[in-house]
Every structure is written in C-alpha cells, then in structure tokens.
Amino acid sequence: MVSIQHRPSTQHLLQFEDLNSEASKNLISKLSRELSDICRRADPQNFRDVKIIRLLRGSIIVKSIAQYNYPNNQSQIEFLNKDLELSLTKLFNNSDLLKHLSEALGNVSVQDAEVLMQTAEITNVSDLKPFMSCNSDFANYTLNIVEGAWVCEGPCKSNPGYCNDHGDCVNVKTGPMCQCYKSSFQEYYGPQCELFHRGAGFYAALFGSLGAVLLLFITVTIVIIVIQLRRRRCWSMSSSHESKRSNLFDDYFFDFTDRSQECQLQKYSLHDNLPEAETGMFRSHLKNVDTTSNVKTQ
C-alpha cells in the first residue's frame, strides 16, 4: 500500500470526498497513471496495476494499492517478498520523480509518501501449485518444478526410457509415441521400439563380404595349383635330363641338371672345367694319389 498526501485548494476538498464526483475521477485517473509509472519501475516484469482506494480530507490523503503478480520463479518471489519494499521506498523518495508527479497534478505539493507491504502470501514457488494447471489437449501432462519454476512435462520427459533408447519419444494428444530408429542395416519397431530386425543393407554387406572371401579363396587355390604343376614339370624335366647325362658320363658326373629360369635348379659337377668335359677331354685328378716312387740304388 502506498499512501501519498497532497494539498489541493480548499474549494476542491469537498468534491474529492465523493469518489464518484467528476473532480475525484479526474484526480484518480491522473494519480493512477503517475503512480503506475513509478511502481512499474520497481519490478517491470511483475507489476500489474495501481488502485486508488480512498481520498481523505485534511489536505488530501491518497491511499493506493500497487499490485504485483507472483511469478512462477523462485528468485523473483524472493525479490517481491524481501526487496520490493526497499525499492519502492527509494523511488518515492526520489526528488525528480516527485517533481514530475507534482507537475502532473497541477504543480501541487506532494509529500509524506509512505510504503507499507502486506504480509507475503507466497513464500516459495511450491506455494503456487494450487494456482497452476496444465491446460493442454495433450494427455498425461504433469506439473513439476524444474530449476525453480513449475513446468508442464509430458510423459516423454517424465519417462525418458519409454522408447528403450531405440527411438525418439514424441508427445501427441493420445499420449507418448515412439519414432523408432531405422537404417539400411537395422530397424527397430513396435509401440516402444522393443522389436528389432536386420535391414536389406546388412544382408547385402554380409553376402558381399562372403563373396569376396570366396573369391579370394578360389584365387589362392588356383595359384597354389599352378605353382604345384610348375614344380612337377620342373622335377620331371630335371629327372629326364639327369638320366641322359648320367648315362653319357657315368662315374664322372653326379648331377647335370639344367639351370633354367623357369625351374631355378642348380647344377653341380665334380669337374672344375666344364668346357673340357663338354669337348670330351677329361683330366684326371690325382690329388689323393701318391705319385712319388722309391728308387733303390745298389
């Protein structure tokens, strides 16, 4: 409650006693406008209006009520209950604001502004619950306090695991609905995305991988068979050539296997000089034969 005393001329005193008189209505209109401007400065977000409840004789004592809404916010409720009175007191003691009020009322003297706070009806945001409701066409919405304020939450919020983490929960008028995750590899379905099956992409990737493994296996098998055939051919050629050379040179050669690029076989010979062996000239090796002779003299 804000009480303001202002002194009009004596001839107007009797007119202001009747709130329905033309003079009272004009004064109340001006006071309401000017007081609202001042009181709104204290809390612009929650200010509602100013009501002039009485004009008393003896100068004129104006009794008014500034109304503020309790917000759905714990910190703002605390401000209204603890700090609003001090804020209003500073405003009504501001000389510039009082001068403006005086000029608006016809340059009358305005003095003795007094601010009185009523007893707080709401001390905590939880006290607002009887005044809160979820006016929604959607089903199963409930009131919950979130970060110091009442909010209406749907079943998707209150039950985050409704879709089993396999889909997005959406609130519709009939209740929660799941939009299940799906891709070319896998797909979830069912009212709460509780069912699952593989997608066409999974089987395509699976059979593609199996086909690649089978192709690799066939390729490796063919390479192994080719290598084995080449080895057999090389051994066959080596055996044939060895037989011919052994018959020709008998005890002088152990192995005359041809060294070709294809077979990569080595040739071994007991002779140091192969050209001589190929021309039919052979040299005896007498390294291990005792060639000395003992001659007796008589």
Residue whose tokens read 């005044």: 131
| Largest Cα–Cα separation, the chain | 192
Confidence of residue 93 (pLDDT cuts 50, 70, 90): confident
Q: What is the mean pLDDT of residues 254-260?
A: 46
**Rounded to 5 degrees, what angle do the CA atoms 280, 285, 288 make?**
160
Confidence of residue 268 (pLDDT cuts 50, 70, 90): very low
Residue 264 has pLDDT above 80, yes or no: no
Tell me the angle at which helices 84-92 and 95-104 cross, rounded to the nearest 10 degrees. Answer: 60
Confidence of residue 43 (pLDDT cuts 50, 70, 90): very high
Work out the percent of the chain whose per-residue pLDDT is above 70.
69
Q: What is the mean pLDDT of residues 251-269?
A: 46
Confidence of residue 287 (pLDDT cuts 50, 70, 90): low
Q: What is the mean pLDDT of residues 18-45?
A: 85
Secondary structure of residue 234 in the 3-state scheme: helix
Helices (H), 83-199: 84-92, 95-104, 155-158
The answer for residues whose C-beta is within 8 angstroms of residue 59's C-beta and 6 or more apart is 5, 6, 7, 8
Residue whose tokens read 């909010």: 151
Secondary structure of residue 218 in the 3-state scheme: helix
CB 53 within 8 A of CB 65: yes
Give the separation between CA 276 and CA 283, rounded to whole angstroms: 8
Confidence of residue 245 (pLDDT cuts 50, 70, 90): low
Residue whose tokens read 């709401």: 122
pLDDT tens readout for residues 123-142: 999 999 998 888 878 888 88
Q: Supply the DSSP symbol for 59.
A: T
In this prediction the pTM is 0.53
Residue 239 has pLDDT above 50, yes or no: yes
